[in-house]
Amino acid sequence: MQSFWYRFKAGVQRFMQGRYGADQLGLFMIWAAVILSLAGAFASGMGATPVFSLLSTASWAWAVWRLLSRNKARRCAENQWFMAHWAKVKTPVMQAVTRFKNRKKYVYFSCPQCHMKLRLPRGVGKVTVKCSKCGHSFEKKA
């Protein structure tokens, strides 16, 4: 049995030799495929079109195709492009989630001069706020 697994593993290794493999974009595509197929299962219960399962299959196919690709430089460039854009999407989303979680503890507002996002503990009353970015002072009630 052990020799079977050994040969199996060696075979997989030989097959993957020179191929690109997994990266963040690949993992993202697989997650997207799983979420899309769940959404598809949910939507089909309501008589929706098979668009979700089509997208899910496409996402899977693309992830596997990238995994097995031999053009490493191209796949690496795709992943870098993805990482740069993902950071831009992820940061504001995470900030919005934090603000929503703390909505009972803090009042959130923007600096009138530079639009920097600021916060005050709720119930603090009328205070003078000094912006941490541009130094602008203004009165705010919280």
Which positions lie near Zn ion, rule CB under 5 A? 111, 113-114, 116, 131, 133-134, 136
Amino acid at 106: Y
Contacts 24+ apart (CB under 8 A), 131-139: 136/111, 136/112, 138/111, 138/112
Least Cβ distance, residue 131 to Zn ion (angstroms):
3
- As measured in angstroms, the least distance from the Cβ of 119 to Zn ion is 13
* Between 30 and 131, CB nearer to Zn ion: 131
Q: How far is the C-alpha of 11 from the C-alpha of 91, rounded, in Å?
A: 41
Distance, CA of 61 to CA of 122 (rounded, Å) = 50
CB of 118 to Zn ion, least distance (A): 8
Q: Quick one: 85 or 117, whose CB is closer to Zn ion?
A: 117
Q: Which is nearer to Zn ion, 67 or 107 (CB)?
A: 107
Nearer to Zn ion, 39 or 129 (CB): 129
Considering the complex, state which of residue 107 and residue 131 has its C-beta at the smaller distance from Zn ion: 131
CB of 110 to Zn ion, least distance (A): 8
Shortest distance in whole angstroms from residue 140 CB to Zn ion: 12
Contact 47, 24 (CB under 8 A): no
